[in-house]
């Protein structure tokens, strides 16, 4: 009888995303996953996190984890400016890398000093062509580092594994139709974290933070369609972008405003129209202006079908409460304002968002050593780099008021 595959994971970071990852790694089946370490800047926070999720140890030194021969993969749940250096260090140590979206971002790489200490306004004022060049260079460097280290670079785009989108792909493939138009968006009331409002911390606003999800899903769907029909991906040839910050409207006051405000050069609204080489189109939208909880949706219009994917909200469960506190401290849905009135609590947000299935697939890929499969299903660093190319080309388009042709080797 064959032994079950084993996988030793080190989580890097202990914030919201890391908590999601820890839950999902614990629920993987068929592969014995050990969460051996969590790496955080603050020892007390790391120790609390380790106890809560049954993690072997909490450390503040990434090098100590990379020197551990038992660690197979590092799961990077860290700020965007750390993605490249941490990936390069992990690849050099022979560790597989799972990196969240966006793969990279422009955070002031051409300014001297630590990005987190830079003037947010100065970074936000940088020419968008420079942003595109530097963000893409970082993404390509990450891909190259993992190739040189002969380790996989997995791109953590959970939308690709959401049950609704997976089922939609299966139906599209069985229909033999051609995707002609795609529309996708993710929206909520905005993050109240000061870091999310500064370009030197995040590398952009709603288009980067939220729009990256539907962009990645559309690229993936057209890639698989092209491979199925012609043996090659269908690629984007040009983009047109539009960004704005309506949260700076002069009529907003503390008494009439429930969305996040205070952005420093980052957009609270952004969209991009993607023009594919086969004539099809995709429109992706990210917004920090939507009350009522997280909205994550994808519409797929093919030559012979129309599919609507609702990751959040959906109404498998509806709940009414006369006021906040009826359900204790339960969070009914990410970014929901409270419990009062009718709500649609998600039975399992890790499942419907694709986070759980993503880690299940990644555990099987890494546990069995079938690294070629990661590239075959399109959830690797190359996809992450293409999303970066699209987003920053959209920023360039918005700044210059023109369509931007994508420049590839």
Same-domain status, 144 and 165? no
For residue 304, the domain's CATH number is 3.30.360.10
Is the pLDDT assigned to residue 338 strictly greater than 90? no
Beta strands in 63-152, from DSSP E residues, in sequence order: 73-76, 96-100
How far does CA 168 lie from the centroid of its chain? Answer: 20
Residues 341-351, mean pLDDT to the nearest whole number: 90
Give the residue with greater pLDDT, 355 vs 379.
Answer: 355
| pLDDT, position 378 | 80
Same-domain status, 365 and 302? no
Among the listed ranges 75-84, 117-126, 372-381, which one has the minimum average pLDDT value?
372-381
> What's the number of domains the chain is made of?
2
DSSP state of 107: S
Is the pLDDT assigned to residue 1 strictly greater than 60? no
Is the pLDDT assigned to residue 72 strictly greater than 60? yes
| pLDDT, position 195 | 87
Same-domain status, 240 and 226? yes
Q: What is the average pLDDT score of the chain?
A: 94
Does 320 map to a domain?
yes
| pLDDT, position 375 | 60
Q: What is the spatial distance between Cα 146 and Cα 89, in angstroms, rounded to a whole number?
A: 10
| pLDDT, position 354 | 96
Does 145 map to a domain?
yes
Q: What is the spatial distance between Cα 65 and Cα 35, in angstroms, rounded to a whole number?
A: 12
The angle, 0 to 180 degrees and rounded to 10, between the axes of the packed helices 83-92 and 128-148 is 20
| pLDDT, position 2 | 63
Same-domain status, 26 and 116? yes
Is the pLDDT assigned to residue 408 strictly greater than 80? no
Does 343 map to a domain?
yes
Q: Is 150 left (phi over 0), alpha (psi -120 to 50) or beta?
A: left
Same-domain status, 366 and 336? no
Token pair for residue 237?
């040839």
368 pLDDT tier (thresholds 50, 70, 90): confident
User: What residues have CB less than 8 Å from 105, skipping those under 6 apart?
Assistant: 80, 81, 83, 135, 202, 203, 204, 208, 388
| pLDDT, position 373 | 64
Buried/exposed code over 288-318 (b: 16+ C-beta within 10 A; e: otherwise): bbbeebbbbbbbbbbeeeebebebbbbeeee
345 pLDDT tier (thresholds 50, 70, 90): confident
Does 384 map to a domain?
no
Residues 350-373, mean pLDDT to the nearest whole number: 89
Is the pLDDT assigned to residue 159 strictly greater than 70? yes
Give the residue with greater pLDDT, 387 vs 369.
Answer: 387
pLDDT per position as a tens digit, 228-266:
999 999 999 999 999 999 999 999 999 999 999 999 999
Q: What is the spatial distance between Cα 104 and Cα 391, in angstroms, rounded to a whole number?
A: 11
Same-domain status, 132 and 98? yes
| pLDDT, position 45 | 84
| pLDDT, position 374 | 59
Same-domain status, 216 and 77? no
Environment class of residue 238 by beta-carbon count within 10 Å: exposed (0-12), middle (13-18) or buried (19+)? Answer: middle
Same-domain status, 283 and 231? yes
| pLDDT, position 376 | 60
Same-domain status, 234 and 130? no
| pLDDT, position 372 | 67
Tokens 């955080």 map to which residue? 40
Does 276 map to a domain?
yes
Q: What is the percent of the chain with per-residue pLDDT over 90, rounded to a whole number? A: 85
Other beta carbons within 10 Å of 257:
13
Same-domain status, 248 and 287? yes
Beta strands in 64-146, from DSSP E residues, in sequence order: 73-76, 96-100
169 pLDDT tier (thresholds 50, 70, 90): very high
42 pLDDT tier (thresholds 50, 70, 90): confident
| pLDDT, position 199 | 96
Q: What is the spatial distance between Cα 390 and Cα 199, in angstroms, rounded to a whole number?
A: 18
Does 1 map to a domain?
no
Same-domain status, 210 and 258? yes
Q: Is 356 left (phi over 0), alpha (psi -120 to 50) or beta?
A: alpha
For residue 44, the domain's CATH number is 3.40.50.720
Is the pLDDT assigned to residue 43 strictly greater than 90? no
Same-domain status, 349 and 365? no
Does 332 map to a domain?
yes
Is the pLDDT assigned to residue 273 strictly greater than 90? yes
- The SS3 assignment for 125 reads coil
Does 314 map to a domain?
yes
| pLDDT, position 334 | 80
Domain of 338? 159-354+390-405
């Amino acid at each position: 009888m064959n032994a079950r595959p084993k996988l030793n994971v080190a989580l890097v970071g202990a914030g919201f995303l890391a908590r999601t990852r820890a839950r999902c790694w614990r629920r993987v089946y068929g592969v014995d996953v050990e969460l051996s370490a969590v790496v955080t800047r603050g020892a007390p926070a790391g120790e609390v996190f380790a106890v809560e999720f049954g993690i072997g140890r909490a450390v503040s030194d990434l090098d100590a984890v990379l020197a551990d021969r038992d660690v197979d993969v590092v799961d990077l749940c860290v700020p965007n400016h750390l993605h490249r250096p941490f990936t390069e260090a992990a690849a050099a140590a022979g560790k597989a890398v799972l990196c969240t979206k966006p793969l990279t971002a422009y955070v002031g790489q051409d300014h001297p000093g630590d990005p987190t200490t830079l003037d947010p306004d100065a970074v936000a004022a940088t020419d968008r062509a420079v942003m595109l060049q530097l963000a893409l260079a970082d993404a390509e460097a990450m891909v190259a580092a993992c190739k040189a280290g002969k380790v996989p670079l997995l791109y953590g785009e959970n939308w690709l594994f959401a049950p609704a989108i997976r089922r939609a792909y299966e139906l599209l493939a069985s229909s033999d139709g051609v995707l002609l138009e795609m529309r996708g968006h993710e929206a909520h009331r905005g993050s109240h974290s000061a870091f999310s409002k500064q370009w030197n911390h995040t590398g952009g606003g709603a288009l980067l933070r939220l729009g990256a999800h539907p962009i990645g899903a559309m690229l993936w769907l057209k890639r698989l369609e092209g491979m199925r029909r012609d043996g090659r991906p269908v690629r984007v040839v040009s983009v047109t972008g539009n960004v704005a910050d309506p949260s700076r409207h002069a009529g907003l006051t503390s008494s009439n405003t429930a969305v996040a405000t205070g952005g420093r050069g980052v957009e609270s609204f952004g969209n991009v129209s993607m023009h594919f080489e086969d004539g099809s189109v995709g429109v992706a939208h990210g917004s920090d202006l939507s009350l009522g909880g997280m909205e994550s949706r994808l519409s797929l219009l093919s030559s012979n079908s129309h599919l609507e994917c609702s990751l959040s909200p959906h109404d498998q469960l509806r709940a009414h409460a006369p006021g906040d506190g009826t359900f204790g401290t339960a969070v009914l849905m990410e970014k929901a304002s409270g419990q009062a009135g009718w709500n649609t609590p998600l039975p399992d947000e890790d499942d419907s968002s694709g986070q759980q299935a993503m880690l299940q697939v990644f555990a099987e890929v890494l546990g069995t050593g079938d690294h070629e499969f990661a590239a075959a299903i399109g959830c690797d660093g190359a996809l992450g780099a293409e999303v970066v190319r699209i987003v920053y080309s959209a920023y360039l388009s918005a700044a210059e008021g023109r369509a931007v042709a994508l420049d590839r080797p």
